[in-house]
Chains A and B, each alone.
Chain A
Amino acid sequence: MATSSVSIKHLDLNFGATKVLKDLNLEIGQGEFLVLLGASGCGKSTLLNCIAGLLEVSDGQIFIKDRNVTWEEPSNRGIGMVFQSYALYPQMTVRGNLSFGLKNARLPKDEIDRRVARAAEILQMENLLDRRPAALSGGQRQRVAIGRALVRDVDVFLFDEPLSNLDAKLRADLRVEIKRLHNQLKNTMVYVTHDQIEAMTLADRIAIMKDGLIQQLADPHTIYNKPANKYVADFIGSPAMNFFDGELLGDTFTSGNLKVPLKAYEFTEGGAAGGKVWFGVRPEHVFIRDQAEAMPVTAEIEVEIFEPMGSDTLIYTTLAGQNFHFRVEGQEIVAVGDKMKIGFDPARASIFDQATEQRV
């Protein structure tokens, strides 16, 4: 049985009259990399602060390593935390930053030196130890911040949007580094971000949050292919999913002149009741020209706008009287007004009830 490393039970958090987290339950397994993903204001950072003990919960319990830490101080919870703005102590050297927590814990000096040396080795910053944060680049600072969590020798790492302050290239580099670190240390990591690429690439499981509730908790593959509701479907994927407003009748979806047979579509338990639905197609699941012929559903469209992005090109058009966009190979030569045949497979689509916005 996989023991749970962090376990959150019926957690409520209110700021005055505002309910930020509502009866939230979450089990995070030992060694798991869990990403909390959501737009700003969804409560993901708040949840992380609750786990860290930096915010007092209004109701509910938090267990770390099967120990109830709901009333514990942050330093006694067995967590290390990495912040978006690095939060390095500016007047201390890197070594001072790394050892500050250990000195507070009154560890013997040789133990402190040993741990600092180990963290510096893992993060490859032995030559930076005597510098001050002001003399470091953004990536180096964030590495020190990770090191500060590392030296604490804890079971759970908490990351609060650690890469959001870095430029795109550094972000990609450090993302890989964090993943490597996780493979090496096998600690439990809880990672907050609003960046879906970070979430998809790093996570064992993603928890998508909105308005203080977890919308879906699943592995990245499931989240991408079988989003539980329209919000998740819309949030994950760039460019965003297309949604057709239409009606479900038996095994056919109808929207204007577009008729989609749904023989191959996997309905959820008790789904396919019929009625008004959203029919979602990912832009990258649309094929053109020859490849389109092989698809169960085909249509003729006219290019209205196109955005070449190098590796691929995004085409905007109208289908069944509604806006529609899809991705084609970047080498494809297109021009405004081109007519082309497109096709997609309804088995890879997602259908959501318009009333509940849940997957059917």
Chain B
Amino acid sequence: MSDASVNLRALDGPSGPKPKKMLSRRNIILYGTLIMIAMYYLVPLYVMFMTSLKGMPEIRVGNIFAPPLEITFEPWFKAWGTACTGLNCDGLSRGFWNSVRITVPSVIVSIAIASINGYALANWRFKGSNLFFSILIFGAFIPYQVMIYPIVIMLREMGLYTKLSGLVIVHSIFGMPILTLLFRNYFTSLPEELFKAARVDGAGFWSIYFRIMLPMSLPIFVVAVILQVTGIWNDFLFGVIYTKPDNYPMTVQLNNIVNSVQGIKEYNVNMAATLLTGLVPLVIYFISGKLFVRGIAAGAVKG
């Protein structure tokens, strides 16, 4: 009997899952390409990181790919605390705090306004809402350079030119088109019946926004925060135009350290300073990467 049952299991020909070859042509091409692209981005990072841990004598030897013989954190401390830009010799720390003071309010203000815009455009189709939306989106296609000088005048008249608050306003305005589009698309993708049900339940504009819509939109808020934090943190143009040296954001200060023409080029300090500046967006990505992908997928599909 047991023989018979064994025979029954021994089926001829292909059966069960198809065996997969590890080294198939497809895999080699796929992983080969992925590794190449990863190297393209990782090698410069590696060089920067290694260089930032070397002393100047070792750098002059020229082996840029070699790991440091003697690890030193001196360049990092110098970049953060004592490197000179212009008259100030307190390193990037000043720029870091300026950037924080610019980024945090800009992100909050722009997202708050854009999410309400998007919600109103998606759910409360008022007269002319489509025209309003078109104008807003059109803003995303106007080159910044056109608006630089008018904004200088505007800020001057408001008494905010060279002030951090002026820069916050500029960032909030420029984030508006793309963020509104993002939020509108997300809110459009939420079931319309939910909104109708809330109206039957007697909820008003704000009540629906805060009690129904907001709790459902965490992914898209994460996307907006990432877009805005990286965008504003990495901004150079507005920072250099609308502020004065005391208020320069980190990126502008980094440029001033790296591009200074006097004295010797301290490559290790430059590398450390660059890495320090890039750290904030990097950390944000690592913390919220998964949510970011989810939110992008949710917000971008429907037009």
Contact = CB atoms under 8 A, between A and B. Distances in A.
B81 to A, nearest CB: 46
Contact of B200 (A74, A88, A90, A91): A74
B86 interface: no
Nearest to A86: B193
B45 interface: no
A80 interface: yes
B199 interface: yes
Given A100-B211, A104-B207, A89 B194 contact: yes
B193 A83 contact: yes
Interface in B197-215: 197-203, 207, 211-212, 215
B203 A90 contact: no
A80 B200 contact: yes
Interface in A75-119: 75-76, 79-81, 83-91, 100-101, 104-105
Most-contacted residue by chain B among A53, A85, A104 (CB, 10 A) = A104
A74 B216 CA distance: 23
B199 A87 contact: no
Q: How large is the interface on B (under 10, 10 to 19, 20 to 34, 35 or more residues)?
A: 10 to 19
A27 to B, nearest CB: 23
Contacts of A54: 196, 199-200
Given A100-B211, A104-B207, A87 B197 contact: yes
Contacts of A160: 193
Contact of A91 (B191, B193, B196, B216): B216
A49 B199 CA distance: 12
A90 B193 contact: no
A104 B202 contact: yes
A87 B208 CA distance: 13
B186 to A, nearest CB: 15
A152 to B, nearest CB: 8
A76 B199 CA distance: 10
Interface in B205-256: 207, 211-212, 215-216
Given A90-B216, A91-B216, A104-B207, A83 B197 contact: yes
B135 to A, nearest CB: 21
Contacts of A87: 191, 193-194, 196-197
Interface residues of A, number: 27
Contacts of B201: 75, 100-101, 104, 148, 152
A52 interface: yes
A88 to B, nearest CB: 8
Contacts, number: 63
Interface in A168-212: none
A104 B201 CA distance: 7
Interface string B174-203: 000000000000000001011011111111
A75 B199 contact: yes
Contact of A100 (B196, B203, B215, B216): B203
B199 to A, nearest CB: 5
Most chain A beta-carbon contacts within 10 A, residue among B194, B200, B212, B215: B200
Contacts of A84: 193
A83 B196 CA distance: 9
A81 B194 contact: no
A81 B200 contact: yes
B200 A75 contact: yes
Nearest to A82: B197
Nearest to A55: B196
A81 B197 contact: yes
Contact of A101 (B193, B194, B200, B215): B200
B193 A85 contact: yes
A105 B215 contact: no
A191 to B, nearest CB: 16
A50 to B, nearest CB: 12
B188 to A, nearest CB: 15
Interface in A40-70: 49, 52-54
Interface in A237-259: none
A218 B196 CA distance: 30
B189 to A, nearest CB: 13
Nearest to B212: A89
Residue from the set B201, B202, B215 with the largest chain A CB neighbour count within 10 Å = B201
Interface string B276-287: 000000000000
Nearest to A100: B201
Contacts of B211: 89, 100
Contacts of B200: 52, 54, 74-75, 79-81, 101
A89 B198 contact: yes
A81 B201 CA distance: 9
A232 B190 CA distance: 36
A111 B34 CA distance: 63
Nearest to A77: B200
Interface string A111-144: 0000000000000000000000000000000000
B203 A104 contact: yes
A81 B198 contact: no
A7 to B, nearest CB: 20
Given A89-B212, A91-B215, A105 B202 contact: yes
Nearest to B202: A75
Contact of A85 (B191, B199, B202, B207): B191
11 contacts: A74-B200, A79-B200, A81-B196, A81-B200, A83-B193, A83-B196, A84-B193, A87-B194, A100-B198, A100-B211, A105-B202
Given A81-B196, A85-B193, A100-B198, 20 more contacts: A52-B196, A52-B200, A54-B199, A74-B200, A75-B202, A75-B203, A80-B200, A83-B197, A84-B193, A85-B191, A87-B191, A89-B194, A89-B211, A89-B212, A101-B201, A101-B202, A104-B201, A148-B197, A148-B201, A160-B193
Q: Which 3 A-B pairs have the closest CB atoms?
A: A75-B202, A101-B201, A87-B193
